[in-house]
């Protein structure tokens, strides 16, 4: 998860053009990962989607539509070939048929809650890891379900001041930092989770 120094994964003012509120500032390390001197960012950007068996994400991460899906043919933020290359289970209260994209990504819409999405993800992932892609609420549900083994925080050097606090309501799961790599645009800290 990309997070500000003050602990937010999205700013307070979210619009359709800027769905995570100052998202561009927060995710600079991803957008600029190809520039010289940011090889750590390149490595992390590739690593966070490589070799995953499945992904779980919240509906607000999938798109800007709220409530009923309506007539719009929304297919995610990521173009015709999303970077996931694996099934993505989207948590929503509103049923929707699966959407198959290029490159192995299929969006499945799960209305029965996090545990159901996790079971479905497990069924397709086999031995490959399942990635909780975000946002904050989905991560919080995953912590509450006790299914997180590893937490990768990409700390962007900005203060958002308000917004969606990643760890709101999360009980300390036991964190051990096992790897830290840094660039001018982010400090990437990998934690093993569990006591």
Residues that bind a second copy (CB under 8 A): 5-7, 153, 155, 157-161, 165-167, 169-173, 175-177, 180, 182, 184, 186-187, 189, 191
Q: Which is nearer to a second copy, 127 or 172 (CB)?
A: 172
Q: Which is nearer to a second copy, 64 or 173 (CB)?
A: 173
Q: Which is nearer to a second copy, 5 or 145 (CB)?
A: 5
Burial level of 170, CB count in 10 A (0-12/13-18/19+)?
A: middle
Cβ 4 to a second copy, closest distance in Å? 9
Cβ 100 to a second copy, closest distance in Å? 38
In angstroms, the CA 2 to CA 7 distance is: 9
Q: Which is nearer to a second copy, 98 or 157 (CB)?
A: 157
Listing from the earlier edge strand, what are the strands of the sheet with 2-4?
2-4, 150-156, 186-193, 175-183
Cβ 165 to a second copy, closest distance in Å? 7
Q: Which residues contact 54 (CB under 8 A, 6 or more apart)?
A: 86, 87, 88, 89, 120, 121, 122, 124, 125, 128, 130, 131
3-state class of 180 per DSSP? strand
Cβ 112 to a second copy, closest distance in Å? 28
């Amino acid at each position: 998860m990309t997070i500000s120094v003050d602990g937010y994964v999205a700013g307070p003012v979210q619009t359709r053009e800027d769905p995570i509120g100052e998202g561009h500032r927060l995710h600079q390390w991803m957008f600029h990962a190809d520039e010289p001197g940011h090889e750590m960012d390149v490595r992390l950007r590739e690593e966070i989607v490589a070799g995953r068996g499945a992904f779980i994400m919240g509906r607000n991460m999938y798109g800007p539509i709220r409530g009923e899906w309506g007539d719009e043919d929304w297919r995610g933020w990521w173009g015709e070939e999303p970077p996931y290359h694996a099934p993505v289970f989207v948590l929503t209260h509103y049923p929707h048929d699966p959407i198959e994209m290029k490159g192995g990504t299929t969006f499945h819409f799960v209305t029965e809650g996090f545990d159901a999405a996790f079971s479905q993800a497990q069924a397709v992932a086999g031995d490959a890891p399942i990635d909780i892609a975000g946002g904050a609420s989905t991560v919080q549900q995953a912590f509450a379900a006790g299914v997180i083994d590893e937490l990768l925080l990409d700390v962007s050097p900005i203060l958002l001041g308000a917004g969606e606090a990643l760890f709101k309501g999360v009980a300390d799961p036991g964190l051990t930092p096992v790897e830290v790599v840094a660039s001018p645009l982010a400090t990437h800290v990998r934690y093993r989770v569990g006591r």
